[in-house]
Amino acid sequence: MTQYHLVYGLRIKASHPIPGLEPSSEETRADLKVLLGRMPDWLEGSLTSAQNWRTSVVPDDGSLPGLHTWLLNEGRYFRMVYSDGTAFVVDRSGKTVWASWPDTLTLEDTATYLLGPVFGFLLRLRGVTCLHASAIAVGDQAIVLLGPAGAGKSTTAGAFAKLGCPVLSEDVVALDDQGDRFLAQPGYPIIRLWSESVDALYGAPDALPLLTPNWDKRYLDLIGKGYPFQQRPLPVAAIYILDERRDDPAAPLIEVVAPQAGLVTLVANAYTNYLLAHEMRAREFDLLGRLVKTVPLRRITPHSDIKRLPDLCQMILDDFDSLNQAK
C-alpha cells in the first residue's frame, strides 16, 4: 500500500495513501517517510525517560485539541500527543514520522493533524520557515494571505478559487529562501472551511462534504470541483494581512504596512510557534526580516458581511496590479 506524494516541496513515501494528497508518480528517493498506524519498536522503552518539552493548551487553528510534546532518546525524537489520543513521533532531522490514533478516530482525522501542524513542525525541523497563511497564484507570482486563526485566510482563498485564481497553499505557506527572493511551495489541493464559509461561498452550510465524520469542518476539493491548483512554487510578490472584520460601510479597507510593523506581524503568525526552539526562532527572524524588506505588505480590513468577499478579492487584485505596474 506504499504511496508517494509531493507536498510543500517534499517527496513523501507513505505506508498508506494520505487523505487529501494526490498520488505522485515520482518514486525516487524520499525526503520524508510517513509510517501510518504504527509507532517505532523502541518507543515503549523510551517513555520512562521522556522529557516534557512543550504543552499547548490553546488550539493552533481554533479546532485542533490541545497538544503535549516530549523529547525522547536524549532529544533525538519528539513525541506529540493530542488530547483526543492521536499521537506522532518525529525524528529531529524531520525525515521520519510515525502516527497512531484511537479506534474511535480514523486515518482521515489523523491526516488533519499531519497535513497541518505536524508537517509544519517537520518543515521547521528541516530549516524551512512557514507562515500561518494561504497563498494564491496571480500570473507567475504568489500572493500570501496572512492572519491568525479565524481571520478568514481559507475562506478568502476559496473566494479567489471561485474567481479562477489558482490556489497554491492553504493554512501553511512554506517559504523556500533563495537569497534574493522567496518561493512559496505548493501545498495540497484542498481548502478546509467552516460551515459559515461554505454557506457564504456555495449557498448552503452543507454544500461541501465533511472533512471527517468526527469534525465540524468541511472541505473544498479543488481538483474535484475543477478549480485550478498551482502545482509549482512561485515567488512571493506581496503579503496581505487580514485584520479583524468590521461593520464599516467603507470596508473592505486597505493600507500600507511598514517593514518593521510587518515583521512583528509575520513573526506572530509564523506556523507552529508553540513548538519552536531558540535556534529555530533565530533562523525565522533572520528570514522574515529579509522578506519584509523585499516584499510589499498591506493590511486589509474585511467587511463583517462575509458575502462581500468578492469585493475584498477584487481590491487585493487591483492593488496587486498597481504594485506590478509601479515596478
Q: What is the pLDDT of residues 225-278, one digit of tens each?
A: 889 999 999 999 999 999 988 888 888 899 999 999 999 999 988 887 666 666
For residues 56 and 316, the model is more confident at 316
Residue reference for cell 517593514: 259
Residue percentage of the chain with pLDDT more than 90: 66
Q: Which residues contact 197 (CB under 8 A, 6 or more apart)?
A: 152, 154, 155, 158, 306
Q: At 110, which helix (H) or strand (E)?
A: helix 107-113
For residues 68 and 63, the model is more confident at 68
CATH 3.40.50 occupies which residues in the chain?
A: 129-325
Q: How confident is the model at residue 176 (pLDDT cuts 50, 70, 90)?
A: very high
Which pLDDT does position 14 carry in this prediction?
A: 95
Q: Which residues contact 299 (CB under 8 A, 6 or more apart)?
A: 240, 241, 243, 254, 255, 256, 257
Which pLDDT does position 138 carry in this prediction?
A: 96
CA distance 144 to 187: 13
CA distance 67 to 118: 11
Q: What separation, in Å, do the N-terminal and C-terminal C-alpha atoms of the chain show?
A: 50
* E-state strands within the chain: 3-7, 10-14, 32-36, 51-56, 67-72, 77-82, 87-91, 96-100, 129-138, 141-146, 167-169, 172-177, 182-184, 190-193, 218-221, 234-242, 253-256, 297-301
Tell the burial category of 261 from Cβ atoms under 10 Å away from its Cβ (0-12, 13-18, 19+): middle
Cα–chain-centroid distance for residue 253? Answer: 25
Residue reference for cell 485550478: 228
CA distance 62 to 41: 33
Spatial CA neighbour of 160 closest among 269, 8, 311, 321: 311
Q: Is the dihedral of CA 192, 195, 200, 202 positive or negative?
A: positive
Task: State whether CATH 1.10.3470 applies to domain 129-325.
Answer: no
CA distance 216 to 213: 8
Tell me the H-state helices in 178-277.
195-202, 259-268
Distances (CA, A) of 137 to 20, 95, 147, 164, 238: 20, 29, 18, 10, 11
Q: What is the pLDDT of residues 84-116, one digit of tens each?
A: 999 999 999 999 999 999 999 999 999 999 998
How many Cβ atoms sit within 10 Å of the Cβ of residue 45?
9
Average the pLDDT over 9-38 and give the result. 90
Residue type, 201: L
